[in-house]
Amino acid sequence: MIQQVENPALEIHDLTVSYDKKPVLWGVDLTIPNGALCGIIGPNGAGKSTLIKSIMDLIPLNSGYVKLFDQDLDEVRKKISYVPQRESVDWDFPASVLDIVMMGRYSKLGLFKRPRKADRDAALSALEMVGMDKYARRQIAQLSGGQQQRVFLARALTQNAEIYFLDEPFAGVDAATEKAIIQILKNLSSQGKTIVVVHHDLQSVETYFDWVILLNLRLVASGPTTDVFTPQLLEETYGGKLTLLSEVGELVKKGGFHAREKQ
């Protein structure tokens, strides 16, 4: 069940990526429509983060290509925003919340230019959107996990991008933060922005996303949530890893699936 679309925001063609000669993504071929709020779902080690990293050109591809708005990444970099995994940086770094959020403006500034008042204002209003404006002067070492994630989202918001890639934005955050983040993503989506999220929690998939990619080394499915998020396809994605998977499908239907995967 792989549904291709016309004029996609994101097109991945025959993508294969390997670490140390061992493939981690195999022949992934998909398109995502403009304005989709899309979840990438799959078990641990399925290559979800790798998929995002290869879209952002952070790791070398073995074959295939990625097009964003029918162009190469380098031509549309300013329209793209990336939120890495929260754990990928050192939060003891000597910097303030505002310093970090301002980074989102660096790509527009270019070499030799320093951030100006307009950049500061953009950073502050992004912080307001994520409910962190009171923390602008705070050192990042003092933030909780949820606050760190909000700061990362604020940094992405200052970029005013057309497409957003978020790597596990809901991992290890409090319920209030999760709610705030998904609300912001839904708002962006309603403004016609495309959003791609690596996601773990099967229970919330149906309420969060209108497009779902099921991934496990190879692409299992890509399409509208109602068509893709079915017990059969989930079983195919999680494979032998969950023999309880037939049960998972039932649970998802009943809305009683609480097993959040351990990090």
Partner 1 sequence: MDAFIIILTGSLVAVSCALLGSFLVLRKMAMIGDAISHSVLPGIVIAFLLVGSLQSVWMIIGAGLIGVLTTFLIEFFHQKGKLQTDASIGVTFTWLFALGVILVTYYAGNAHIDQDCILHGEIAYVPIDLMYDDAGNAIGPKAVIVLSVVLALILVFITVFYKELFITTFDPDFANAIGISSARWHYLLMGLVSLTTVASFESVGAILVVALLIAPASAAYLITRDLKWMLMLSSLFGIVSSFLGYWLSYLLDGSIAGAMVTISGAIFGICYLVTVLKK
Binding positions for partner 1, rule: CB under 8 A: 20, 53, 56-58, 74, 77, 80, 82, 84, 88-90, 93-96, 99-100, 103-104, 106-107, 109, 111-112, 114-115, 139, 141, 155, 159
CB of 105 to partner 1, least distance (A): 9
CB of 58 to partner 1, least distance (A): 6
Residue 36, exposed/middle/buried by CB under 10 A (0-12, 13-18, 19+)? buried
Nearer to partner 1, 99 or 227 (CB): 99
CB of 115 to partner 1, least distance (A): 7
Nearer to partner 1, 112 or 191 (CB): 112
Nearer to partner 1, 8 or 84 (CB): 84
CB of 152 to partner 1, least distance (A): 9
Say how many residues make up the chain. 263
Backbone angles phi, psi at 30, to 5 degrees: -155, 165
CB of 44 to partner 1, least distance (A): 20
Helix (H) or strand (E) holding 22: strand 22-32
DSSP-assigned letters across all residues of 133-202: GGGTTSBGGG--HHHHHHHHHHHHHTT--SEEEESSTTTT--HHHHHHHHHHHHHHHHTT-EEEEE---G
126 vs 124: CA distance, rounded Å:
5
Nearer to partner 1, 152 or 208 (CB): 152
Nearer to partner 1, 124 or 161 (CB): 161
53 vs 79: CA distance, rounded Å:
16
CB of 6 to partner 1, least distance (A): 27
Pairing of strands 80-83, 63-68: unpaired
Distances (CA, A) of 248 to 131, 170, 245: 35, 21, 5
Nearer to partner 1, 89 or 259 (CB): 89
